[in-house]
Structure 1
Amino acid sequence: MKLWKRTIAIFLSTFFITAMPISANALEETSITAPSAVLMEPETGKVLFEKNAHEIRACASITKVMTLLLVFEAIDSNKLSMDETVTASAHAASMGGSDIWLEEGETMTVDEMIKATVVASANDAAVALAEHLCGTEEEFVAKMNQRAKELGMKDTTFKNCNGLDEEGHLTSAYDVALMSRELIKHKDIFKYTGIWMDYLRDGKTQLVNTNKLLKSYNGITGLKTGTTGDAGSCITATATRGNLSLIGVVLGSASGKERFTDAATVLDYGFANYSMYTPKAPDGAVTDIQVVGGMQGTVKTAVNETTPILIKKGEEKGITEKLNLPESIDAPIKKGDKVGSVEYTLDKKKIAVSPITADGDVEQMTFWSVFSVIFSNLLTSR
């Protein structure tokens, strides 16, 4: 009986990833065992925690985040469709490591190849997609490096599209967060990153997600794992709780379990300490404002919604609003014209501005406009 209990305990400790609870402002670099890590809020791109964020490292299959980004951009621009057929070349079929054992000439849809790339981290499927889009993996990799430059990924050089160890194939935790942030703008990626288990080839090939946080972390939505000899164990993990989403990147862990624990730790820190605050317009922002020289004496105002603001929990109590609205405005006015603003301040720093706009049109008063009104009234009164 004791042996049975011990076996169960070992299984649970291996499979379920737990992190020590993180209290507010308690996360230190020493709390993360991995040599490099980043926590980023994707809406603002603000880094909430970092440990050697720009240290140049291999990242294994996290490389596929950029591969998938180019694939989804091609789909969104109608250069590629989900039901399009992809044929595996000899080069794609020759990949080692994680794969779905594609054979030369074998065909699958783009949808199936994406599923294999995301869920099973299939190197052969990633290469097949790259070749289908650009003709050769080399041309696709050139586009990967071009896109990385556009995203400001200054620490990154790609040598292949799947992350297999290759000299000079390097990035940083910060750059991984940047490309992860860009990929998750394509919401359809979550249809794949949330899959725990699926099948290809009419059920003959089973896919099991390499991201074990899907079974253990509250709010996890993705994104990609990677493991090679050069890179160690790596992950870029995305999670959402309420209206706060986070990206946690961990590179170079000594084991798969440690990478998941570290990822959970940085994400826990973010959710414990930060929130998204949506400012509300103060009284008087929506009102009737006087119009000078207009065919109407007033126009109603409207307040444009403010994008939620990333703040530390509790800071919402210190946010103040300042209403900037003139006593009158000059005609002509078009609906949507900015007529004022609401400024939101925290610790004497401006953190957001909501425009106040006109909620209607007001024509400028001219001789002909007045004449037109008088003439119309005369006709109506008859």
Structure 2
Amino acid sequence: MDREKITGLLMKEKYPGIHKNGKRMRRLVLTLLWLLIVGTVASYSGYQQQKEQAADVDINTEEAVKEIVKEIEKETTVQAQRTTRKFEDEPDQLYARSAVLLDGKSGRVLYGKEADTIRPMASTTKIMTCILALEFLKEHPDQIITVSKEAAAQPKVHLGMQEGEKYYLQDLLYSLMLESHNDSAVAVAEGVAGSVAQFAQMMNQKARALGCKNTHFITPNGLDAKDDTGIHATTARELALIMRYCMTQSEASGEFLTITGTRSYQFQDVDQKRNFSCRNHNAFLDMMEGAVSGKTGFTGDAGYCYVGAVIRDDRVFIVSLLACGWPGNKGYKWKDTMQLMQYGIEHYQYKETEPEKTEDLPCLAVLDGFDACRPYCSSVNVPLEIEENGQQTHILMRDGERIEKNVTIQEKKKAPVKKGMVMGNVSYELDGEEICSYKVTAGKTVPERTYGKILGVILEKASLY
């Protein structure tokens, strides 16, 4: 076996987290070194029998290295740095392969790591299932669901419903969001849309309406799935935007926050034959002041996932994490969430960004315009004004961020011109996104210049003599 190949596996440049994973990592490194020694000794044996054994060792060593490398990759993907950083104090070592910190009010991404990489999202899917069901309940508050064979057959984690049983839709949403029950998700989907396939269409329609072009829903519970369009997946950015909708934009936002913030809930089936108790598994609710909502998730393809929110001093921070470790690293998502939330709280504050309405603007040259004070001039200069529009300019910013102003104004205009006529706009951008814009209008009316108007001025002046 090529010894340089094995040695290369140990290089810090290839696996930057290899020295940061404690005893487990040291054992893996020692195992690789032992395999290197065994392979070297075997390859230098002079006897034919030993050569044959060396070949076997070489093959076995190759396979062992591949297995260990896979394990190292799982342990060290978490330490990968972002390729670019806007600020030196941004989080640079997260366990999650994809992560976003979002301003829950404006929807602006405050921090992103592979924010637009498409990945499976496991049970974080259920925030979309829940909000669609809550919006449905606005018009059907007493909706009862009869459990189908498909719903009853869903794998764990499940409530354990039996085919033919009846439940109130409202109760099943607590089962869905607190315990993440897969059978409740399917029952809810069927109760709202008639079938899982039709409910998936509703989910995808809502995602597109929110601008989530890289999100594709197949199941209401987030189990790994694939269809002709692709896999059941989203991005960290779009998962955060869906959470923003659930919390701040939907007509059912209040109900969503009530359910996801509930610590425990008890209910019965409609016939009162069975009793159920649900406990909220979102541990982050008790980890940070202001934590109000969230949803965990895990599948073999997705790894551990999480989306959650904190409200602090009227600021709304949303964190979404995808592929945040696999079994054995269940706590990674809490560490990443805490780190991102603390970063947002410490560095981002609301600032007023309203522009000065009296700022200097060039005058508009009105060609062939008439001014009684200067009747012989063929052009009239008209002052421009920035129009009030009531736009919110209260925006979450951190030190070091700059707002860019873009002025687009028509320099010339043929008469006539009326006061208030739009002649351009002034827009303000932050991080490449427009945060507000104002119309620029003509400050006075200028009629068209004609021989009749000029003659009238001449005659008026002549009458004074």
**Alpha-carbon separation, structure 2, partners of 1:199 and 1:266:** 33
Aligned to 2:280: 209
Cα contact 1:34–1:251 (8 A) shared by 2: yes
**Measured at CA, do residues 314 and 111 of structure 1 come closer, stay the same or move farther in structure 2, by a change above 3 Å?**
same
Cα contact 1:234–1:259 (8 A) shared by 2: yes
**Measured at CA, do residues 265 and 346 of structure 1 come closer, stay the same or move farther in structure 2, by a change above 3 Å?**
closer
State the SS of the aligned residue for 1:83.
Answer: coil
Cα distance, 1:257 vs. partner?
0.9
1:196 counterpart = 2:263: yes
1:67 counterpart = 2:129: yes
Cα contact 1:243–1:276 (8 A) shared by 2: no
Cα distance, 1:137 vs. partner?
0.7
Aligned to 1:142: 201
Structure 1, unmatched stretches of 5+, are 1-23, 285-302, 321-329, 356-382
Cα contact 1:309–1:352 (8 A) shared by 2: no
State the SS of the aligned residue for 1:166.
Answer: coil
Cα distance, 1:354 vs. partner?
8.1
Matches within 5 A, 1:300-315: 306-307=391-392, 309-313=394-398
**Alpha-carbon separation, structure 1, partners of 2:216 and 2:404:** 42
**Alpha-carbon separation, structure 2, partners of 1:281 and 1:351:** 12
Aligned to 1:8: none
Greater radius of gyration (CA): 2
**Alpha-carbon separation, structure 2, partners of 1:305 and 1:279:** 13
Aligned to 2:443: none
Letter in 2 for 1:263: T
- Deviation digits for residues 155-196 of structure 1 (CA, Å, limit 9, x no counterpart): 222221111122321221122112112211232200011111
Letter in 2 for 1:229: G
Cα distance, 1:95 vs. partner?
0.9
Cα contact 1:64–1:162 (8 A) shared by 2: yes
Matches within 5 A, 1:14-53: 26-29=89-92, 31-53=93-115
Cα contact 1:277–1:316 (8 A) shared by 2: no
1:277 counterpart = 2:343: no
**Alpha-carbon separation, structure 1, partners of 2:203 and 2:301:** 21
TM-score calculated relative to the size of structure 2: 0.57
| Root mean square deviation of aligned Cα | 3.7
Aligned to 2:163: 104
**Alpha-carbon separation, structure 2, partners of 1:132 and 1:350:** 41
State the SS of the aligned residue for 2:317.
Answer: strand
- Deviation digits for residues 173-228 of structure 1 (CA, Å, limit 9, x no counterpart): 12211211221123220001111122222793221112100111111111211111
Matches within 5 A, 1:309-328: 309-313=394-398
Matches within 5 A, 1:329-368: 352=436
**Measured at CA, do residues 153 and 353 of structure 1 come closer, stay the same or move farther in structure 2, by a change above 3 Å?**
closer
Cα contact 1:274–1:310 (8 A) shared by 2: no
1:218 counterpart = 2:289: yes
Aligned residue pair count: 306
Structure 2, unmatched stretches of 5+, are 1-86, 359-387, 406-417, 440-465
TM-score calculated relative to the size of structure 1: 0.68
**Alpha-carbon separation, structure 1, partners of 2:135 and 2:103:** 22
Cα distance, 1:75 vs. partner?
3.4
Letter in 2 for 1:200: F
**Alpha-carbon separation, structure 2, partners of 1:112 and 1:261:** 32
**Measured at CA, do residues 253 and 93 of structure 1 come closer, stay the same or move farther in structure 2, by a change above 3 Å?**
same
**Measured at CA, do residues 229 and 351 of structure 1 come closer, stay the same or move farther in structure 2, by a change above 3 Å?**
closer
Cα distance, 1:27 vs. partner?
2.1
**Alpha-carbon separation, structure 2, partners of 1:343 and 1:156:** 31
State the SS of the aligned residue for 1:253.
Answer: coil
Matches within 5 A, 1:83-94: 83-94=142-153
Cα contact 1:119–1:209 (8 A) shared by 2: yes
Cα contact 1:305–1:354 (8 A) shared by 2: no
Q: Which has the higher strand share?
A: 1
Out of 109, 121, 124, which is 2:180 matched to?
A: 121
Aligned to 2:315: 244
1:257 counterpart = 2:319: no
